[in-house]
Chains A and B, each alone.
Chain A
Amino acid sequence: MGELEQAVLEALWSLDRAASGREVHERLDGRDLAYTTVMTVLDRLARKGVLDRERDGRAFRYVPRRTRAAMTAELMHEALQGTGADRDQALVSFVGEASAEDLAALRRALDELA
C-alpha cells in the first residue's frame, strides 16, 4: 500500500496544483489502476494529513501540504534532532554529534589499523 500511496503523492507533486481524483487517475495511466483505488488512496492520504482536500462542485480537489523536499527536510530534521542532548529515542541514529576529541580518537583508532 505504501508504494501506491507514494505513486499517488508523486502524481500530485508532478501536477504541482490542486487536482481532482480523475486527473490523478489519468496521470497514473501507465499503472492500470482502478479509479476507485486512486480515490481510496487519496482519501487515506487526506486523512493522514498529507493532502489537503478542497471542495470543487460535487467533487474534491487534492493538494499536497508539503513539497517533496519539505517533507524530506522534515524527516531529516526529526532524525538529526534525535541525536541531540534531549533525545526522545524514537529514532536511533548511527552516530550523532561528535566533539573534536571524538574525531581525533576515531582517526587514531583508524591509524592503528593501517
Chain B
Amino acid sequence: MLTPVVLGALAVLLAGPLPWLLSRWTDLRRTPAAAMLLWQSTALAAVLAALGAGLSLATDRLWAPPVAPADVVVAALAGAVTAVVLARLLLSGHRTGTALRRLRRRHRERVDLVARVSGGVSVLEHDLPVAYCVPGMTGSRIVVSRSTVRSLAPAELEAVLEHERSHLRARHDLVLEAFAALHLAFPRWVASEAARREVEVLVEVLADRAACRSGDRRALLGALLALAGSPAPAGSLGSAGSALAARVEVLRDTRPHRVQAAAVVALAATILAVPTLLVVLPWLAGLA
C-alpha cells in the first residue's frame, strides 16, 4: 500500500511546490545548463511518478488476494485516471507539435520567397529591427531584417547570429515544445506555467552564453540594447521580472559556479533516480 502513496506524494511535490521553489531561485540561472537538466528531470519525474502512482494503486489492489469488489472498483478508477493523464499528455504533445511545425513551415516557405540569403542568413527588407530563428527538422532559418544588419556593428551582428545558431544547434525548440505541451496538458493545478516561463529564460541564457564564448560580451550586450523592442510599460511582464533583465543579470556574472552546477546536476539525477530505485524497483519485484 505504501508505493502508490509515496509516488502520489512525490508527483504532487514535483508538480507543484518544487517548480514553484525553483522558479523563485533566480541564482539557478547562473548555471543554466545544469538548471535546464534539473527542470527537465523534475518534469519527467513528476509525470513518471503520477503514472506510477496510478498503476501501482491498481496492481496493489488486484495482485494481493483476496480481491474484494471494492478493490476492483479502486483499481479501475486508478487505471482510468492514469489513462486520462497519459492521454492528455500524448494528445497535447501531438497538438503542440503539429501546430508548431505547420506554423514554422508556412513561415519558412514565405521567408524563402522574399528574403535575400547572405552568408546562410535570410535578410528581410524591412525598417524594423528583428532577429529570430525558425527551427525545423527539415530546414531551419536564421532571419534578420535589413534594419538589423544596418544598425549593428559587425561583432554585434555576429553575436546575434551565434546566439540564434546556438538555439538551432542545441534544439532548444524541442525543450520549449515539451514544456509547452506539458502546460497545455495541465494548465492548472501544476506549476507548468512557471516551469515553461523559466525554461524560456534558460534557453535564452544558454544561447547568450554560447554567443559570448565565440564573441565578446560587449558585442552581445550592445546588440541586445540596439534590438530591444519598444519599451513595454513597467511591470507588465509580471513580478518574476522580465526575461531580458534575467539575461543581463547572468551576462554580468562571469564567475564560474562549479559547486552550484555540480550540486544542481546531482539534484537532477537524484530526482529521477531515487524514486525509481526506492519505489519502483521493489514494486516491480513484488509483481514478479
Contact = CB atoms under 8 A, between A and B. Distances in A.
Nearest to B231: A100
Contacts of B103: 88, 90
A66 B174 CA distance: 32
A90 B113 contact: no
A101 interface: yes
Contact of A94 (B107, B110, B131, B235): B131
Interface string B234-258: 1111000011110011011000000
A83 B167 contact: no
Say whether chain B's binding surface is mostly helix, strand, loop, or mixed: helix
Nearest to B168: A92
B213 interface: no
Given A5-B113, A48-B109, A110 B145 contact: no
B199 to A, nearest CB: 11
B229 A72 contact: no
B224 A92 contact: no
Contacts of A6: 112-114
Query: Number of contact residues on B: which range applies?
Result: 35 or more
B221 interface: yes
A34 to B, nearest CB: 21
Interface in B201-226: 203, 217-218, 221-225
Interface stretch (A15-23, A24-32, A53-61, A73-81): A73-81
Nearest to B223: A94
A14 interface: no
Nearest to A71: B114
A105 interface: yes
A12 to B, nearest CB: 11
A79 B128 CA distance: 11
Given A5-B113, A78-B107, A110 B222 contact: yes
Contacts of B29: none
A97 B164 contact: no
Contact of B126 (A50, A73, A110): A73
Given A92-B133, A97-B231, A113 B221 contact: yes
A99 B130 contact: no
A33 interface: no
B233 A99 contact: yes
Contact of A74 (B104, B110, B143, B200): B110
B243 A96 contact: yes
A102 B242 contact: yes
B225 A103 contact: yes
A102 B228 contact: yes
Given A72-B124, A106-B228, 8 more contacts: A5-B112, A50-B110, A76-B124, A85-B237, A92-B203, A97-B228, A98-B231, A102-B244
